Amino acid sequence: MASLREDALDAEPGAAAPTAPSAPTAPTAHGGASRGADRGASRGADTLRRERARGHAALVVVQLCFGTFPLLAKWAFDAFDPFAIAGWRVLFGAAALLAVAFAVHGREALPARRELPRLAACALLGVVLNQVLFLEGLSRSTAVNAGLIMPLIPVYTFLVAWMARQERFSLLRGVGILIAFAGTTQLLLQKEPDLSRPHLVGNLLIATNALSYSIFLVVSRPLAQRMHPLALIAWVYAFATLSVPFFTRGVDFVPPAAGARAWISLGLILAFPTVLGYVLNTYALSKVSASTTAVYVYLQPLIAGATGVLVLGERLGAGIVLAAVAIFVGIRLVVLRPASAPSPRAPEETEP
């Protein structure tokens, strides 16, 4: 950029360099500045492309972090109680995310005193209930089912936001909600409406977890407009630590029977879906648009379903495929927005 500024300073409006009798005409000062500007613009475009490529790469890793969570949790269930895993995630996540938030934002990561009550409510909805319901539900269901139910978060979020008068209702979105819930009902009941089916309770817990997280997204929207995303999720985790003694009472955090696979799985859960996923998602949001980030979320159920079938040997029957199609069609109709009505900034629609 220094050479570009020097070219601009040396140039005089309308002046041209002298020409030699036998030499081709020398470039004008304006022409030199123009070529310098073109080179600068080209370098800037290359830098922008590289930054966007890094953002896309980060988003792929983010989806791998969250998409493989059901698989890792299934392995950790060999020895760890779901409540113990939730407790580990809350405690480790709070410490690690707060450290990263202060390292990145310094004192700007501190919340205002007026935000504390809302942060406490967000911690209950977005972390405590979210973690406990999801992990307990997953222990009673399958990774495939969990991967298909979790994308309902945008549908639930729209319904809650509409009831809170933050969103407008439309016929298209209404149809999308009906289709998505029809797919969910098919997934919950699968072949027939038999309440004794083994996965029904687990699926209901996961669906309730998605509803809890959707309410969190709506409640936390004002905070998301005033706080850095990484600082917000870090403080939500920090407030959630206050509840750990209550939902982990009588739970063994270090079970004697835990083998290498269970401990490695827990370590991967803490490192990837608990910490790295949020750090990289925040990084990606600084490189690409929020709408691009939202599109990548649809990779999560594909990853969860693939690992469930290929690694855990779970069955993928026709009923599940039909439910998946209905859920994704419904979600697509709900999240469609007119081009002239961009959505306000909101927290990431990724389960913590």
DSSP 10-72: H--TT------TTSPPPPPHHHHHHHHHHHHHHHHHHHHHHHHHHHHHHHHHHHHHHHTHHHH
For the CA atoms of 157, 71, 84, 259, the dihedral, rounded to the nearest 10 degrees, stands at -170
pLDDT tens profile 64-92: 999 999 999 999 999 999 999 999 999 99
How does pLDDT run across 198-233, given as a tens digit for each residue? 688 898 999 899 899 989 988 998 998 899 999 999
Q: How many CB atoms lie within 10 A of CB 41?
A: 11
3-state SS class at 227: coil
Nearest in space to 155 (alpha carbons), one of 144, 145, 143, 169: 169
147 closest CA partner among 310, 348, 298: 298
Give the C-alpha separation, 218 to 54, whole Å. 30
pLDDT of 352 reads: 59
How confident is the model over 5-61, as pLDDT tens digits?
A: 333 333 333 333 344 444 444 444 555 556 666 666 677 778 888 998 998 999 999
pLDDT class of 341 with cuts at 50, 70, 90 = very low
What pLDDT does residue 154 have?
75
pLDDT for 300 equals: 84
Report the candidate in 282, 283, 262 with the shortest Cα–Cα distance to residue 352. Answer: 282
Return the number of other C-beta atoms located less than 10 Å from residue 29's C-beta: 18
Report d(CA 266, CA 269) in Å as an integer. Answer: 5
Q: What is the pLDDT of residues 120-170, one digit of tens each?
A: 999 999 999 999 999 999 999 988 888 888 877 877 888 888 888 877 888
Q: How far is CA 273 from CA 73, 202, 222, in A?
A: 11, 21, 25
* Chain position carrying tokens 């009902």: 185
Distance of alpha carbon 184 from alpha carbon 327, whole angstroms: 7
Token digits of residue 316: 């993928």
pLDDT tens for 250-268 read 999 999 999 999 999 999 9
Distances (CA, A) of 81 to 214, 254, 307: 25, 10, 22
- Answer with the residue of higher pLDDT: 269 or 2: 269
CB 138 within 8 A of CB 73: yes
SS3 content of the chain, % helix, strand, coil (to 5): 75, 0, 25
